[in-house]
Amino acid sequence: MSKPLNPGRKAVELNPPARPSRIRRDPPAPAPAQKALNPYPTEREAWVVVIGVLSFALAIAIIIIGFSDYTSK
């Protein structure tokens, strides 16, 4: 004797009807006023790059010299 089939839920429809959206759609806010762009002075930016590269090279040279001095003894 088997138990009779009693599905608890309704089956899912393959093509359900469209439901109204629950997301409230406000009109888009007005765009803020654009500020005038002031470009960076390229000479200053170039000097910052040169100083950064030189300081990085100096740090690498100090590490290499220190490591070679430590391992040579």
What's the confidence (pLDDT) of residue 35?
86
31 found inside a domain? no
36 found inside a domain? no
Q: CA 51, CA 47: separation in Å to the nearest integer?
A: 6
Q: CA 43, CA 51: separation in Å to the nearest integer?
A: 12
pLDDT tens per residue across span 25-55: 788 888 888 888 877 778 888 899 999 999 9
33 found inside a domain? no
50 found inside a domain? yes
Q: CA 45, CA 23: separation in Å to the nearest integer?
A: 47
* pTM confidence score: 0.45
Residue 1: pLDDT band with limits 50, 70, 90: low
58 found inside a domain? yes
27 found inside a domain? no
**What's the mean pLDDT when you consider all of the chain?**
85
- State which residues form the domain around 53: 41-73
70 found inside a domain? yes
What's the confidence (pLDDT) of residue 3?
79
Tally of structural domains, the chain: 1
